[in-house]
Amino acid sequence: MYSIKYIPASTSNYRAGRSHKIDQIIIHFTATEAPAYNNGVYFSRPNGETSAHYFLDGSGTIIQSVQDKDIAWHAVQANYRSIGIEVVSSGRDFTEAEILELQWLVTWKMKEYGISKSGVLRHFDVTGKQCPRPYVDNAKWQKLKDRITTQIDTQSKLIIYSYWRGHNQQWAFVKDKNGKTVIVNRKSGKAIDVANGDYTPGQQLIAYEQNDGANQDFTVKDVTPQEAVGLKISPVQADKLALAVSGASYKAGTPVILWDYKAGSAEQLFMPVIAVKVSGVTYYTLFSCGALKAGLPLCLDEAS
Ligand SMILES: [Zn+2]
């Protein structure tokens, strides 16, 4: 749901290569309100041997300055084993948008390198520097750390659930600014999202804030296989995968997952059937075609 833009740091600002495994993530603040992009440009020039791997400001685009495989100079004795992340703040608390980006990046890197929660540290923990200043307070840091080390897939899951005319079973097909289709829930306003951009077959789908992310772009095609008529709904980023009913089980409570597209499989076809119009937007109840008789529509969690 976020993108990474790489603006290579000047080679005089970091050391190429590393031999120790990455087992720490060090959080910093930039001490100015200059956007992440400006930081990327600044560190692309020689600046007296300082650097960090990532800069983020809540804009949705994270700037990478140094590659993970190289050693950035941000936390002295911890440099050789760590990834340094700088969050834009002149000293204020991180914004909600920054915390969400930080959570996404930190949980991704924890997973990628097998880093434990105890390996996520403040610059302050390493050298005693007042960084990140708003989180030098231990109670505040603990709260932030709990959030940014928790996987984002605690969002509402998409499941198949018995029809009860609930708003959380109604979906609109809307176009994002790039002309791609985003499928938005009527009740929450959240969009169907591929969790953490993970397109592995079997991945469970979630509903997440609509933010024009690539993981929220779906193609919707009419499909008329031999015995079924319905819509095939596939992520733009992974067109060979389609929304599917988990294990072809049509029991209420079955999660909706991404799976290799099999033309004609009823568990991968959805039918927009009952429509309501709210403020000019048409919402449909999306029924799984294999379950029309049972009446099981795509639903955002249960009735929550
Ligand atoms: Zn720092």
Beta bridge pairs of residue 254: 160
- What is the 56 CA–ligand 1 centroid distance (Å)? 14
**SS3 sequence, 114-168?**
CCCHHHEEEHHHHHCCCCCHHHCCHHHHHHHHHHHCCCHHHCCEEEECCCCCCHH
User: Average pLDDT, whole number, for the chain?
Assistant: 87
Q: Where are the beta strands (DSSP E) in 239-280?
A: 241-245, 254-260, 269-278
Tell me, what's the pLDDT at 68? Answer: 97
Report the C-alpha gap between 29 and 294 in whole angstroms. Answer: 54
Higher per-residue pLDDT: 265 or 109? 109
Q: Which of 33, 27, 26 is nearest to 92 (CA)?
A: 33
Find the Cα–Cα–Cα–Cα dihedral 43, 47, 49, 55, rounded to 10°. Answer: -20
User: What percentage of the chain carries pLDDT values higher than 90?
Assistant: 43
- What is the 26 CA–ligand 1 centroid distance (Å)? 8
Report the C-alpha gap between 121 and 25 in whole angstroms. Answer: 6
Tell me, what's the pLDDT at 295? Answer: 55
- pLDDT band of residue 10 (cuts 50, 70, 90) is very high
| Whole-structure pTM value | 0.57
- The protein residues having their C-beta less than 5 angstroms from ligand 1 (an ion) are 28, 123, 131
DSSP code of residue 246:
G
What 3-state DSSP class applies to 13? helix
154-203 residue pLDDT tens:
467 888 877 766 788 888 999 877 788 999 988 888 888 887 777 888 88
- What is the 194 CA–ligand 1 centroid distance (Å)? 33
Region class of 78: left (phi > 0), else alpha (psi between -120 and 50), else beta: alpha
| Alpha-carbon Rg for the chain in angstroms | 22
User: Region 133-142: what's the mean pLDDT?
Assistant: 96
- What is the 69 CA–ligand 1 centroid distance (Å)? 20
On the question of pLDDT at 267 being above 90, the answer is no
- What is the 27 CA–ligand 1 centroid distance (Å)? 7
User: What percentage of the chain carries pLDDT values higher than 70?
Assistant: 91
- What is the 142 CA–ligand 1 centroid distance (Å)? 17
Sheet holding 254-260, edge to edge: 241-245, 254-260, 158-160, 298-300
On the question of pLDDT at 303 being above 60, the answer is no
Give me the domains of the chain, ranges plus CATH numbers. Answer: 3-150 (3.40.80.10), 154-300 (2.80.10.50)
- What is the 132 CA–ligand 1 centroid distance (Å)? 6
- What is the 108 CA–ligand 1 centroid distance (Å)? 21
25-76 residue pLDDT tens:
999 999 999 999 999 999 999 987 899 999 999 888 899 999 999 999 999 9
Tell me, what's the pLDDT at 226? Answer: 61
Centroid of chain to Cα 163 = 29
23-32, 204-213, 247-256, 268-277 — most confident range:
23-32
- What is the 127 CA–ligand 1 centroid distance (Å)? 9
220-258 residue pLDDT tens:
888 876 656 788 888 888 888 888 887 777 777 788 888
- What is the 85 CA–ligand 1 centroid distance (Å)? 9
